[in-house]
Amino acid sequence: MIIQQWFVWALVVSAIGMTGTNGVMAQSLFDMADDITTVRIESHGQNFSPRQSITPGAAPRHTSDFDLTVVWQPGDLKAREEWVLRTHYPVSTELSYSMTYHQAAGVTEGQDSLAPGSDARPMGGRRIGANLKTLWLTNPLILAAHAESISAPESIGVEGSRERVTFVAFDTNWSMVFDSSNGLPLELATTEADQHQGEIEHRVTFQDWREVSGVPFPYRVEQFLEDKLLRREVRSAIMVNPEISAGLLELPDSLQDTDQSLRQQGWSMSHFSQARAGLGIPQDYFETHSISFHEVGQDLYQVRGSEGDNNLLVVGPDGLAIVDAPWFDQRSEEVLGALQERWPELPLKYVILMHHHIDHSGGFRAYVRAGATLVTSQGSTAFFANALAQAGHEPTATIAVGQSAQLDGIGRRIEVYDIANSHADATLIAYVPDEKLAFATDLFSPGRPRQTGPWVSELLESVRFHGIDVEQFVGGHGVGAGYPDSE
């Protein structure tokens, strides 16, 4: 049994007069991991998306199951991943694909996305950064073997049952907790960027350590975003320094390097890329430029960005209201810049959020900073207040909407209604009565050939309940205004 072996080794280390702390043993394990040139890991598991929970702040959405084979050369920063991804949310499908990548470039083959297309294509920098980070995060001894310097172990836990070291590797700070009895890592954590909270802990736990060619590996690995599950992985076979076919990890000479800033972004928020890929909606590139305004009514605009998610802008005589805040503060900053240019005399009075999912709320802090009153469903008020507090913001002016609310601050009426549906709890729509136009997010996406799930009929049923006269919907996704064909 491996634990006993390491324990015996610890006694030997003590006996020969080294420091006698178990940190020495951990250090020896790191040195062993340094001898790995290639590792091949077969695993299966489940993906979760904390930012697509049904209820704000509640259990993450289980998005997919997978079979995965990784071949990795840590010293050369080269890897290949072969995936079979069975998605359950937002739609059920099976995707099969591979990614071969080095630090600066990579290639995807097969179908990795709900969107059709399976030709070989370059990987975006965001995905490469996130994938490399995930390999380090889930293989802690190999990571520690590449550390620049490791702190002296700090005793924690009951009677020194655990020790913690911190170290820097790849310009990133890591904290590792290991079991004092055998020197094996229990937990590895690092801080990542998060749209809602500013900073967040990406934490990985390790169990079921087994020895492979003299090196211990964890066979059960769980990744968490704070306390929310991101991925569960069970390893079924690991090989150290296996023969691999020539060229397996090589890339075409013609492949160009990816954008380094995107790679850095993927690295600094690997939890985000990982969760998106697990939905079958990978975001390799993800640019937030090209904000444009499309008139969908009198002084009403759908605000589009290159990533395909929208806001609604309502222009009134006394001010502006923005509905939804897709993805990132950077995108919101661009919208704010455009508003300032086009309507310099009109203040932004409201940011109205339809629900808490990251693709529609990740940029909300920029609008709050710009002075907008935050309008959310009662059921998500605490979630957003907590996110602001975590990000170090002062509490902000907030309107918590129960069944409905009227907003008159821009000199033009906007009504907000609670919509019962199975996509997300605490969902609102925003309705502009003088144009009989409603903005709905995810429940109906105008211009799309297929609508998802029962969400359209749930939306229309709630609209009938409230007795509002909607002639057209504009969507958080989709293009332009429209009305569902059939109920």
Residues that bind Zn ion (CB under 5 A): 357, 442
Quick check: helix, strand or coil at residue 318?
coil
**Which of 395, 411, 293 minimizes the C-alpha distance to 342?**
293
Residue 63 Cβ vs Zn ion, minimum distance, rounded to whole Å: 12
Question: Smaller CB distance to Zn ion: residue 117 or 454?
Answer: 454
Residue 419 Cβ vs Zn ion, minimum distance, rounded to whole Å: 12
Residue 370 Cβ vs Zn ion, minimum distance, rounded to whole Å: 24
Residue 442 Cβ vs Zn ion, minimum distance, rounded to whole Å: 4
Residue 441 Cβ vs Zn ion, minimum distance, rounded to whole Å: 6
Question: Smaller CB distance to Zn ion: residue 222 or 324?
Answer: 324
Indicate the residue type of 212. Answer: V
CA atoms within 13 A on the CB side of 93: 14
Question: Smaller CB distance to Zn ion: residue 314 or 353?
Answer: 353
Give the length of the chain.
487
**Strand 93-101 with 78-87, pairing:** antiparallel
Residue 427 Cβ vs Zn ion, minimum distance, rounded to whole Å: 8
Residue 399 Cβ vs Zn ion, minimum distance, rounded to whole Å: 21
Cα 10 vs. chain centroid, distance in angstroms? 40
Question: Smaller CB distance to Zn ion: residue 52 or 396?
Answer: 52
**Which of 485, 383, 387 minimizes the C-alpha distance to 427?**
383
Position closest to Zn ion via CB: 357
Q: Alpha-carbon distance 470 to 472, whole Å?
A: 6
Cβ atoms within 10 Å, residue 65: 17
State the alpha helices, DSSP H only, in 83-208: 125-137, 140-145
Question: Smaller CB distance to Zn ion: residue 52 or 258?
Answer: 52
Question: Smaller CB distance to Zn ion: residue 112 or 442?
Answer: 442
Angle (CA) 362 105 170, round 5°: 70
Exposed (0-12), middle (13-18) or buried (19+): which is 116, by Cβ within 10 Å?
A: exposed
Q: Alpha-carbon distance 428 to 418, whole Å?
A: 5
Residue 453 Cβ vs Zn ion, minimum distance, rounded to whole Å: 11
DSSP state of 398: E
Q: Which helix (H) or strand (E) holds 273?
A: helix 270-278
Residue 455 Cβ vs Zn ion, minimum distance, rounded to whole Å: 9
State the alpha helices, DSSP H only, in 86-199: 125-137, 140-145
Question: Smaller CB distance to Zn ion: residue 309 or 442?
Answer: 442
Question: Smaller CB distance to Zn ion: residue 64 or 73?
Answer: 64
Question: Smaller CB distance to Zn ion: residue 81 or 442?
Answer: 442
Indicate the residue type of 63. Answer: T
- Tell me: cis bond preceding 218? Omega within 30 of 0 counts: no
474 DSSP β-pair partners: 439, 481
Q: What's phi and psi for 311, nearest 5 deg?
A: -110, 170
Q: Alpha-carbon distance 189 to 171, whole Å?
A: 14
Residue 440 Cβ vs Zn ion, minimum distance, rounded to whole Å: 11
Q: Alpha-carbon distance 26 to 141, whole Å?
A: 9
Question: Smaller CB distance to Zn ion: residue 56 or 153?
Answer: 56
